Structure formats: C-alpha cells, structure tokens
Amino acid sequence: MTVRLLPCGRRAVLVEPDDVLGFQAALEQAPPDGLVELVPAARTLLVRFDPSVTDADRLGALLRQVSPVDSVVSSSAEVVIPVVYDGEDLADVAADAGLSVSSLIARHSGGSYVSAFCGFAPGFAYLSGLDPALHVPRRPTPRTRIPAGSVAIAGEYSAVYPSASPGGWRLLGRTGVPVWDVERDPPNLLPPGTKVRFEAVRA
C-alpha cells in the first residue's frame, strides 16, 4: 500500500493512507518508538511523536511499511441507538431521494455504521456506512441551534449531535442516548472504530 506523508512541524507527520482506520489500528497494535498520539480524520491520520525519541524521517520510514488491519471493534461492543424518526428534514430528504418516508427510515435504520472519526464538537462521530441513496448535501443555510441527540445525515455520513449547537446537517430524528458525557469514563460513546446500529422506535 502506498501512503503520502506530509511533515507537520517538528512533532507530527500527516499520513494519507487508503484505509485510515485500518492504518490507525495497525499502529495501535504495534506502536513505533516515540508515538504520542493518533488523530484520525476523513482521509488523513495525524501521527504525533516525541522528537526526543524519533524524528520525521525515521518515523516516516516505518510508516511506509505499515499494513492496515481490521479496525472495527468486536461485535459485542456494537452500540445500538434507538431513534424516533420525526426530524424536520425527514420528508424533504425522502422526496430528494425518491423514497417514501417509511423506506427512508428502513434504509437508515437498516445500515451498519462505523465511527470513522470525531470532529466539529466533542463526541461528534462521523459514522460511515450510510446508504448511497441517502447521500444528501448539507442545508444551504445552517440552523442556529440543533438540539442534543438529533440524528442527522450529510454527504456520506450519519451522526448524532452530542450537544446543542448550530449545524447544517439534515435532521432525520432524535435519540435520548448521550453520545458524549463528561461524567462517563470514557466520555465518548462512539470512538473511532466503534460499530453502530440505529433502531427505529416510537416516541
């Protein structure tokens, strides 16, 4: 596998692998000397290192030899999120996709998702695995406040808003499951690699 490596200052290398989560999992299983932190994103993995132990050239040589491994946690760790599908954008998304509302709900709740990376806000997990028929753009005008627990889609991802915030994702429904809780250890319910399934429930 070929990877592109970009230096990020004196303490990090940005990797552009074909399989971000698989590459991250391989490094977690066999961490190179000096590894400090791994930060996944949609297409990249930031590898932070201790410059007193290694440098970008030595680390880069090791990174070019990494082979991705299975990144998904075991099925026993699957998180099931109950969803009341009554979101403000439900009907519009169904119309744009050429589906009935019930078919849209069946496709969204029938998918198998994986937390690809977290960003935007603490606990905001970008969940890959969304049915291609439901790939829709963000709203042209973001809402000024989306309630915590809102279940939404945008582009190729689905997500659960961990806290109330502005946002432009299309709202399909809501859940009472807190995906981010500072009183919980760890606070993030959906770290990268976690399998996720949505379950349609009544209000």
Q: In what order do the strands lie in the sheet with 12-16?
A: 4-8, 12-16, 45-49, 35-40
CATH of 75-201, one of 2.40.100.10, 1.10.1610.10, 3.40.50.620, 2.60.40.10: 2.40.100.10
DSSP annotation of 176: -
Beta strands of the chain (E only): which ranges?
Answer: 4-8, 12-16, 35-40, 45-49, 79-84, 113-118, 125-128, 143-146, 150-154, 157-160, 165-167, 170-174, 195-201
Residues 6 or more apart whose CB falls under 8 angstroms from that of 61 comprise: none
Question: How much of the chain exceeds pLDDT 70, in percent?
Answer: 95
- Domains of the chain by residue range: 4-63, 75-201
CATH of 4-63, one of 3.30.465.10, 3.30.1360.40, 3.40.50.300, 3.40.50.980: 3.30.1360.40
Quick: pLDDT tens for 155-199: 999 999 999 999 999 999 999 999 999 999 989 999 988 999 999
Which pLDDT score is estimated for 94? Answer: 96
* Least confident interval from 8-22, 59-73, 106-120, 185-199: 59-73
